[in-house]
Each structure stands twice: as structure tokens, then as C-alpha cells.
């Protein structure tokens, strides 16, 4: 099982862009947050890459640290693997915009060879967990790869070696391409989700949902092919029991960390009864979050979407939900 606490999806995008630069012959520097103290905008494992022309992808802070890193890259300040700290004094905290005295400990890694990131990009594209090991001190300095255990810490650093456990992008599979799906997708994408809209109905084939991938397969086939790890969520919004139940029947037997279904309490009772008749166990059916979303008194599609995504955030972060 892929740990839900491993590195967030934006790091996959950072590595993809880094690989593109390196394949184009554009050297860059990859920065990784290895430790934080106090309040910090980004967790250990967060990445930012800056190429020799100053182009940047990713984030390790609220923005001011990135500006300084970019300046230093353009000045040629990173010719070897090294560590650096920001916010070690009140003056630095004020200068770099680190909140509440927060401190960032970063590893700076100059890159030229595509092989330094290519295995990670391939593994994450295949939704596999992969470990990236960086040896800091010469003459051993360089990158190695390993298979981390599912419960490994996302980042470990002993002063000589950085071990980084990278997990694939968070993904949200929405069954049904109606208006509500458009709002849920719009709220979920900034939170790091790659959104897939599954709807085989002809009437919904022309529905436009910006930034989302479309999957025209039947819902059970879509869920079986895509919701293959614990960084996946499935929510049914089709208002069609035939489609919704097909997706839920498949999802509830798989590893998705969140499975929800739109509908009233009366609709949910009927759905749970149908799922029992489909040979799902009580424990599997208990995983279903329905009616989906936090009880915020929502009425309009945007309000309902906010309630759904709020519950998604709470479950993903392991927060206690009291209603």
C-alpha cells in the first residue's frame, strides 16, 4: 500500500519538468526541504527546481525563499551538492517571509544527467512508490534508487544521506460529468488532485470540465483500472444507480482512501441495501461515505462541492470529523 503521508503530487510535476530540462541539455538545481522548525509553508520533501536560465517549477516556501534561490542559481552559486538554511535568525525570518520564526533546511543538488530523475518520473507515472537516495559528500556524492517500505518516513537525512520516498499523484475519480462534477473538479485540482471524469452516457460526452481527464469507459472498468492505490478517491455523482453502483461495487473492494456517493439519506439507505445484495461485506459497505460531504447546510452546486472537497481534505489529512 502506498503511504498517504508520502510526498505530495506537485513533486511529480517538478520532476517531470526537471527531466524535460535535462533532456534539452539545460542544467538545473533541484532543492528539497529536508527539515523544518517552527511554522513552515511547505513540508519536508517539498521540491523546487530552477534551471540555468531562471525558469522555476515547484515551491519550498511562500515565495521569498524561491526568489533568493533563483538569484543564487543565476549567479552560479551551486556547483556541488550542499545544504543551506533559511530563517535561522529573526532577521532572516522577516527577510524571507517565513512565518512565526519558521526555519527551512534545504538540500541543493545541481543536475545535468537525465538519469538523476528519470527513474522517479517513470515510477510515478506508473503510480509506483520509489525511493531516491542522494549521497552528499564526495567522492561518493550522487543519486541511487531503492524500494522504500510502505510505512517509511517520506524524508530522512542523517547529514550524509538523504532518502526521499516519492508517491504518485493524488487522483480523484468522479463518476458523472454533470454540473456538480465541474465544481468539485475545480476545487480539487488546486489541492493537488489529478481529476478523472468517467461518464459513458452520450448526452454528457460534450461536457467541458477544465483540467480534467475524460474516461468514457463503464464506471467499474474505469475504477478497476485507475483506483489501484491508496492515493486515489472515488466519488459518484451520476444520479444513475446503474452507473453509481457499478463504480461503488468496484471501489469498495479496492484500496482507494476515500469513497463517496451523492444522494439523500433515503437514497443512501436504498443504495446500501443494493450493495448488500451485490455480495459486498458489511465492512466494505461501511467504507462508503454517504451522503457525501460535510453537513454544511449546502444547497447550490458550488456549496455542495465545497462540502465534498472539505470532507476529502479532512480524510486525507487524518483529521477528526465531528458532526
Question: Per the structure, how many domains does the chain have?
Answer: 2
- Let me know: does 116 contact 127? Beta carbons within 8 Å: no
The CATH number covering residue 248 comes to 3.40.50.720
Residue 91: how many CA atoms within 13 Å on its side-chain side? 0
| Residues 82 and 218 reside in one and the same domain | no
| Residues 147 and 179 reside in one and the same domain | no
Q: What is the rounded CA–CA span in Å between residue 41 and residue 104?
A: 10
| Residues 161 and 39 reside in one and the same domain | yes
Domain holding 186, by residue range, is 170-315
Across the beta sheet with 213-215, what order do the strands follow? 213-215, 193-198, 170-175, 232-236, 258-261
Q: Which of 255, 198, 191 is nearest to 229 (CA)?
A: 255
| Residues 279 and 236 reside in one and the same domain | yes
| Residues 192 and 235 reside in one and the same domain | yes
Cell numbers that stand for 29 in this block: 538545481
Task: Determine the pLDDT at residue 41.
Answer: 64
Q: What is the rounded CA–CA span in Å between residue 172 and residue 184?
A: 10
Q: Which helix (H) or strand (E) holds 73?
A: helix 64-74
Asked, for residue 2, whether it belongs to a domain, the answer is no
| Domain final position from 134, 150, 166 | 166
Task: Determine the pLDDT at residue 9.
Answer: 42
Q: What is the rounded CA–CA span in Å between residue 317 and residue 71?
A: 35
Asked, for residue 279, whether it belongs to a domain, the answer is yes
| Domain final position from 146, 166, 186 | 166
| Residues 176 and 306 reside in one and the same domain | yes
| Residues 127 and 177 reside in one and the same domain | no
Asked, for residue 3, whether it belongs to a domain, the answer is no
| Residues 204 and 243 reside in one and the same domain | yes
Cell numbers that stand for 273 in this block: 441495501
Return per-residue pLDDT of the chain as tens, 323 residues.
444 334 444 788 899 999 999 999 999 999 999 988 765 667 889 999 999 999 999 988 867 789 999 999 999 989 999 999 987 555 555 555 555 556 889 999 999 999 999 999 999 988 889 999 999 887 677 899 999 887 778 899 998 999 999 988 899 999 999 999 999 999 999 888 999 999 999 999 888 898 999 999 999 999 999 999 999 999 999 999 999 999 999 999 999 999 999 999 999 999 999 999 988 999 999 999 999 999 999 999 999 999 999 999 999 988 877 65
| Residues 86 and 181 reside in one and the same domain | no
Asked, for residue 322, whether it belongs to a domain, the answer is no
Amino acid at each position: 500500500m502506498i503511504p498517504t503521508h508520502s510526498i505530495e503530487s506537485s513533486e511529480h510535476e517538478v520532476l517531470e519538468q526537471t527531466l524535460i530540462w535535462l533532456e534539452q541539455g539545460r542544467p538545473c538545481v533541484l532543492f528539497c526541504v529536508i527539515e523544518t522548525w517552527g511554522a513552515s509553508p511547505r513540508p519536508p520533501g517539498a521540491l523546487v527546481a530552477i534551471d540555468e536560465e531562471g525558469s522555476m517549477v515547484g515551491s519550498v516556501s511562500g515565495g521569498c525563499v524561491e526568489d533568493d534561490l533563483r538569484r543564487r542559481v543565476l549567479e552560479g552559486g551551486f556547483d556541488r551538492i550542499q545544504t543551506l538554511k533559511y530563517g535561522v535568525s529573526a532577521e532572516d525570518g522577516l527577510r524571507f517571509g517565513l512565518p512565526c520564526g519558521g526555519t527551512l533546511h534545504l538540500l541543493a543538488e545541481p543536475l545535468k544527467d537525465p538519469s538523476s530523475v528519470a527513474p522517479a518520473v517513470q515510477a510515478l507515472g506508473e503510480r509506483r512508490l520509489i525511493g531516491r537516495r542522494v549521497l552528499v559528500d564526495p567522492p561518493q556524492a550522487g543519486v541511487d534508487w531503492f524500494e522504500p517500505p510502505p510505512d517509511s518516513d517520506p524524508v530522512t537525512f542523517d547529514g550524509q544521506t538523504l532518502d526521499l520516498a516519492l508517491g504518485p499523484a493524488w487522483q480523484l475519480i468522479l463518476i458523472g460529468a454533470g454540473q456538480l462534477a465541474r465544481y468539485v473538479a475545480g476545487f480539487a485540482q488546486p489541492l493537488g488532485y489529478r481529476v478523472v471524469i468517467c461518464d459513458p452516457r452520450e448526452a454528457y460526452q460534450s461536457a467541458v470540465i477544465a483540467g480534467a481527464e475524460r474516461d468514457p469507459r463503464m464506471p467499474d472498468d474505469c475504477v478497476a483500472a485507475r483506483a489501484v492505490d491508496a492515493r486515489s478517491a472515488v466519488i459518484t455523482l451520476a444520479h444513475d444507480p446503474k452507473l453509481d453502483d457499478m463504480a461503488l461495487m468496484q471501489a469498495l473492494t479496492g484500496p482507494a482512501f476515500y469513497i463517496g456517493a451523492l444522494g439523500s439519506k433515503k437514497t443512501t439507505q436504498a443504495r446500501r441495501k443494493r450493495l448488500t445484495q451485490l455480495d459486498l461485506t458489511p465492512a466494505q459497505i461501511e467504507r462508503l461515505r454517504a451522503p457525501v460531504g460535510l453537513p454544511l447546510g449546502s444547497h447550490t452546486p458550488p456549496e455542495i462541492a465545497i462540502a465534498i472537497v472539505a470532507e476529502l481534505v479532512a480524510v486525507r489529512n487524518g483529521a477528526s470529523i465531528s458532526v
